[in-house]
Structure 1
Amino acid sequence: MEFQILDALQTIHNPVLDTVMCGITRLGDAGIIWILLCIVLLVLPKTRKSGVILMAALLVDLVICNGILKPLVHRIRPFDVRTGIELLVKRPTDFSFPSGHTAASFASVMALYLAGEKKIWISSLGLAVLIAFSRLYLYVHYPTDVLGGVIIGVMAGALGYWLVKKVQELKNA
């Protein structure tokens, strides 16, 4: 069923959408958009705590996804199974599960939501959904990789928030 979804997405490809999806997925490369947002939040005194929460969420996500799950699950990517697919992006060299782009995106959304950044988290959610969809469109992840990334990202965002809260409580005790 996963290949049916991926193959169906191949039927909607066109030059404009290909360019847009490649651009959107690049925003998630190495979590760059979320790291840049984190830096901006950390620099501004008014949003510094939110920046710390976002940083914690991204670090938790990195450890869980790239440090634990990808090496443990060892899932090969869909383009390595369906070798006839022409990739529009640089060939990822790590494992497929979970989608790191998706996990970092949803960790960021959850961290921003819990930090109370109402203006930022809603637009971040829109971007996170687009990044997740781009991973399917570009045939670099299975749908369950993306779903796993959403779930793990939400958990990482919540855990990052909780860790910052606990450290703050210890500091204030």
Structure 2
Amino acid sequence: MNLNDQIFLAINNLSLLNIGILNFFCIFVALFSPYIYALGLVIVYLSNRKKQALCAFYVALIGLSINFLIGLFYYHPRPFVEGLGNLLIPHAKDSSFPSDHATLAFAISFGFWYAKEKTISIISFIFAIITGYARIFVGVHFPFDIVGSFFVAIVALTLLNAFVAYFSKVSDFLIKLQIRIFNMF
């Protein structure tokens, strides 16, 4: 048994303790974290920090695009496909590496950091770690899937930085478009 499997089982086997609040919390986070992040982006956007929210959105979009490309060329089975651990939520038998949920979470955190929203970045980074833990806890990801997501998010941020002038123009356009649409009503 390799290190990835051992760490996975150490975390996932905690679900067998049947600690109701822990199981509920991890299942909730594992299932609904993308919606929580989407809501957070909307709240930040609507609180007059539009460029900061768009920056985080772009890093997430780039990160998830990288995940898609990785998925085209590399397949790694999920733990339950290999007969490991306890599966607490239903999930497709698609590739586990890297985790889309964790990539989204880390990418948004890094995007806010880049946009100088330090407090939001720290809070979202902590939630990203919790999201990764929850995905392992419920049996749908290995720890290295989460670590891989962390690095994908770093690459996504690096790509945003390389093309920041382009993304800045897109942001300006989207904000002006949004203002015009809202002014029509």
TM-score range, shorter chain: 0.7 to 0.9
TM-score, normalised via structure 2 length: 0.80
Residues 94-149 of structure 1: CA distance to partner in whole angstroms, max 9, x if unpaired? 31110111111110110000101122111111101100111111121112111101
The amino acid across from 1:26 in the alignment is: L
Tell me, in whole angstroms, the C-alpha distance in 2 between the residues paired with 1:170 and 1:131.
30
Match of 1:72 in 2: 73
Query: What pairs up with 1:71-150 in 2 under 5 angstroms?
Result: 71-82=72-83, 85-150=85-150
User: Which secondary structure does the structure 2 equivalent of 1:11 belong to?
Assistant: helix
- Cα distance, 1:166 vs. partner? 4.0
Match of 1:42 in 2: 45
Cα distance, 1:169–1:100 mapped onto 2, change above 3 Å: closer
The amino acid across from 1:141 in the alignment is: H
Q: What 5-or-longer segments of structure 2 have no aligned partner?
A: 173-185
- Cα distance, 1:3 vs. partner? 1.4
Identical-pair percentage: 24
Kept in 1: contact 2:51–2:171 (CA 8 A): no
Query: What pairs up with 1:6-85 in 2 under 5 angstroms?
Result: 6-13=8-15, 14=18, 15-28=20-33, 31-44=34-47, 46-65=48-67, 67-82=68-83, 85=85
Kept in 1: contact 2:60–2:107 (CA 8 A): yes
The amino acid across from 1:94 in the alignment is: D
Kept in 1: contact 2:160–2:167 (CA 8 A): no
Count of residue pairs the alignment pairs up:
167
Kept in 2: contact 1:52–1:164 (CA 8 A): no
Cα distance, 1:69–1:38 mapped onto 2, change above 3 Å: same
Tell me, in whole angstroms, the C-alpha distance in 2 between the residues paired with 1:11 and 1:40.
36
Kept in 2: contact 1:54–1:160 (CA 8 A): no
Note the aligned Cα RMSD (angstroms). Answer: 2.3
Tell me, in whole angstroms, the C-alpha distance in 2 between the residues paired with 1:21 and 1:170.
36
1:2 aligns with 2:4: yes
Tell me, in whole angstroms, the C-alpha distance in 2 between the residues paired with 1:81 and 1:18.
22
Cα distance, 1:93–1:35 mapped onto 2, change above 3 Å: farther
Tell me, in whole angstroms, the C-alpha distance in 1 between the residues paired with 2:28 and 2:112.
23
Cα distance, 1:170–1:150 mapped onto 2, change above 3 Å: closer
